[in-house]
Amino acid sequence: MAAGRAALTRGAWSAARGQFERALETATTAEALEGLSWATWWLEDVSACLEAREQAYRLYRKADDARAAARMALWLGDDHNEFRGAGAVAEGWFNRAARLLEELEPCPELGWLRVFEAHAALGRHDTGRARELAVQAQELGRRHRAVDLEMFSLATEGLALVEEGAVGQGMRCLDEATAAALAGEYENLAPAAWTCCRLISACEEIRDYERGAQWCRQVEEFSRRMEARFVTGVCRAHYAAILGWHGDWSAAERELTKAHEDLTAKRPYWRAEAVVRLGELRRRQGQVEQAEALFNEVSSHPLARRGLAELSLDRGDPAAARDVLERMLRRIPAGSVSRAWPLELLVRAEVALGEHEAAAIHLAEFCSIADLLQTRPLRAAARFAEGIYAAARGEHEDACTCLEEAVDLYDGLAPFETAHARLEFARGLLMLGRTEAARREARTALSAIPVPRRDEAELLVALGLAGPPVLSARQLDVLRLIADGLGDREIAAQLVISEHTVHRHVANIFTRLDCSTRAAAVSRATGLGLL
């Protein structure tokens, strides 16, 4: 038993499993089963973990040890959530733990119940209740010298504060809790890993990629010292998103591929966290069809909806993007920092649609969130949004000022976003007649963008840095007839070809012009001087 506990402490999961199994060969005790459950939890042997916990629960109940039985019920509830996404089963175990704890003096197990309840409240965006429960859990942790409970509860409070916009205070809570986790203060390493994951996910949410990168390096060093995998696949997915923002796409690909494999095999309920971020990486790489397929695979995920909206904007279909983004906003409470992403994209969509009044309202809300959070990428995104809004109103001097600031804020931090901001800045310079300066900015941007967006491709053509898409003479004939309002049958009759051939020409036109509708193809071809 002692050797098994020591192995758990140093992250030697297989050795721990072996020690607890040897102990169980001598006598089937609840304590040995509890130890075995943690070894198999880390090895992600889900069936063995659940079986060990349930057997330990029954033995603790038989021994009339309500506190230990409640502890097993709590971890079983979390396991059913974590491994299987079985919310009803998890709720049953949490309720069982609550009833067992009713007749006991306040103990650490009650604190764990409160922090799990706080986690559920966060999922409902009830941040006030989440903070209240997390503070109660912290007090129990301090009273009983349970550092892992106290610090994980502090991290949970920090996440709630960040969601409310109290970013400085919330991130200080998360920093402290993560420092304690990586200093080896936690009695149980599982909450230490959860704490790191909370911090990294918060950094992704508020786009504090500098802080996230620093802590990711600390987590890697801790894992190397333990000579064991420390964080779960979900945490690796958050980490990969930060790598992607920094432009390290090969490392992001490696982390996401591994996270996807691990989550699919062991935690299928959470595999969407890897799928959706892999979709975003593909979008950045210009692999649009793969990105769309991945987003559609997990279409209910908020990041998938965001990704699909981005693709619609990239393709020149702002109306489709607006519909997705408005639905997202209706589901997020006013005042939540989670509104930042949909608001930012909605401004782009409304500007493209010429809906300047609606864009101004959403721009003001987005800028207020950016002012509240004060992270560099968010400040850059706000200046970018202000720039494209000013440009749409014909205020090109103001637009250039905003876009230049966006470039400076993004530069050295997010190469992909820097490049897109440079291209918009180049567009503003071109409108002011500063053609050579516009070309310099566009050339600098091109190295970081595998495939420019539709509107950016048109800018490059205007600057003489790219030629228009090449359409065959027959494709141009078809496109001219589409522009005249003819349908496929009429076009076939006019050109004396089959309808099937017309369908094929239309599909190729869409591919070459990067469009998905006939109206968009005509509009783009006209803008490029093809018609």
At 224, give phi and psi (nearest 5°): -65, -40
Residue 253 and residue 281 in contact, taking contact as beta carbons nearer than 8 Å: yes
Q: What is the mean pLDDT of residues 332-346?
A: 92
Quote the radius of gyration of the chain (alpha carbons, Å): 27
Q: Indicate the range of 157-166, 260-269, 277-286 predicted with least confidence.
A: 260-269
Q: Do domains 1-104 and 473-527 have the same CATH topology?
A: no
Closest CA to 202 of 168, 251, 249: 168
Whether 25 shows a pLDDT value over 80: the answer reads yes
For residue 223, the 8-state DSSP code is H
Q: What is the mean pLDDT of residues 157-175?
A: 94
Whether 467 shows a pLDDT value over 80: the answer reads no
Whether 47 shows a pLDDT value over 90: the answer reads yes
What's the pLDDT score for residue 514? Answer: 78
What's the pLDDT score for residue 228? Answer: 66
Q: What is the mean pLDDT of residues 101-126?
A: 94
Q: Report domain 1-104's class.
A: mainly alpha
Q: What is the mean pLDDT of residues 63-92?
A: 94
Q: What is the DSSP string of 12-47?
A: -HHHHHHHHHHHHHH---HHHHHHHHHHHHHTT-HH
Give Cα separations from 131 to 114, 134, 170, 451 (angstroms). 10, 5, 11, 44
The single-letter code of the amino acid at 496 is: V
DSSP 3-state of 124: coil
Whether 266 shows a pLDDT value over 90: the answer reads no
Q: What is the mean pLDDT of residues 177-204?
A: 93
The residue assigned the tokens 């998103």 is 241
pLDDT, tens digit, 9 for 90 and up, residues 503-529: 988 988 888 887 888 988 888 787 777
Per-domain residue ranges for the chain? 1-104, 473-527
* Mean pLDDT score of the chain: 92
Instruction: Classify domain 473-527 by CATH number.
Output: 1.10.10.10
Q: Which of 110-124, 205-219, 224-238, 493-507 has the highest mean pLDDT?
A: 110-124
pLDDT, tens digit, 9 for 90 and up, residues 225-251: 876 676 777 888 888 999 999 889 999
For residue 107, the 8-state DSSP code is -
Please state, in angstroms and rounded to a whole number, the distance separating the CA atoms of residues 476 and 468.
13
Please state, in angstroms and rounded to a whole number, the distance separating the CA atoms of residues 80 and 93.
9
Q: What is the mean pLDDT of residues 485-495?
A: 91
Whether 475 shows a pLDDT value over 90: the answer reads no
Q: How confident is the model at residue 131 (pLDDT cuts 50, 70, 90)?
A: very high
What's the pLDDT score for residue 451? Answer: 80
The single-letter code of the amino acid at 358 is: A
Whether 311 shows a pLDDT value over 80: the answer reads yes
Residue 449 and residue 419 in contact, taking contact as beta carbons nearer than 8 Å: yes
- Higher model confidence: residue 36 or residue 515? 36
Q: What is the mean pLDDT of residues 173-177?
A: 98
Percent of the chain whose predicted confidence (pLDDT) is above 90: 69
Whether 324 shows a pLDDT value over 70: the answer reads yes
Question: What pTM, to 2 d.p., does this model score?
Answer: 0.79
Q: What is the mean pLDDT of residues 445-462?
A: 86
Please state, in angstroms and rounded to a whole number, the distance separating the CA atoms of residues 238 and 252.
10
Cα-Cα end-to-end distance for the chain: 80
Structure-token pair, residue 125: 């965006």
Tally Cβ neighbours within 10 Å of residue 161.
23
pLDDT, tens digit, 9 for 90 and up, residues 423-447: 999 999 999 999 999 999 999 999 8
Tally Cβ neighbours within 10 Å of residue 450.
12
Structure-token pair, residue 344: 């930012």
Tally Cβ neighbours within 10 Å of residue 486.
17
Please state, in angstroms and rounded to a whole number, the distance separating the CA atoms of residues 191 and 204.
20
